[in-house]
Amino acid sequence: MWEKTTSSRCIALASGLCLAVARISALGAEHTFDGIYVGKRVLTKGVAGCPVEDDVSVTIKGETLRFTDSRLKEFIMPFYPDQNGLFGQTHTGEGGSDVHYHGRVSEDVIEADVTSPSCEYHWHLKKQ
């Protein structure tokens, strides 16, 4: 009887440890894209006054994307990628203007297209 009880406890303990490890792994996977990405954005369509090329920095932490360029400093937008790194959101900024952004984080690179009311850009950013 002692052997059956001990065996049952060992199985229960092992199952609990497996669940705990799986839960910790899942929590870590949520933020696999966190980091600082730098590179360029290049104008693909726009009106006079849209910068043709600009240095860009993006900091991703959890569900937040902080964007910095020559004019904006730490512009905050939501970031909800799927497991494959695909993302696409619309953010309504101050004054009601929408910014649409979609793309993919693949390995350590972000490729994205960003559209504001007057300018459209392609981003190519590498993780530092």
In whole angstroms, give the CA distance from residue 75 to residue 93.
Answer: 9
What pLDDT score was predicted for residue 25?
37
The token pair that represents 18 in the structure block: 């497996």
For the chain, the domains span 1-30, 35-127
Provide the pLDDT confidence category of residue 93 given band limits of 50, 70 and 90: confident
Residue 34 in this model has a pLDDT that exceeds 60: yes
Token pair 């199952």 is found at 15
Residue 32 in this model has a pLDDT that exceeds 80: yes
Per-residue pLDDT tens over the stretch 11-29: 443 444 333 333 333 444 4
Provide the pLDDT confidence category of residue 3 given band limits of 50, 70 and 90: low
Lowest-confidence segment of 21-35, 45-59, 72-86, 109-123 by average pLDDT: 21-35
Distances in Å between the Cα of 68 and the Cα atoms of 10, 38, 58, 79, 83 are 53, 10, 6, 15, 25
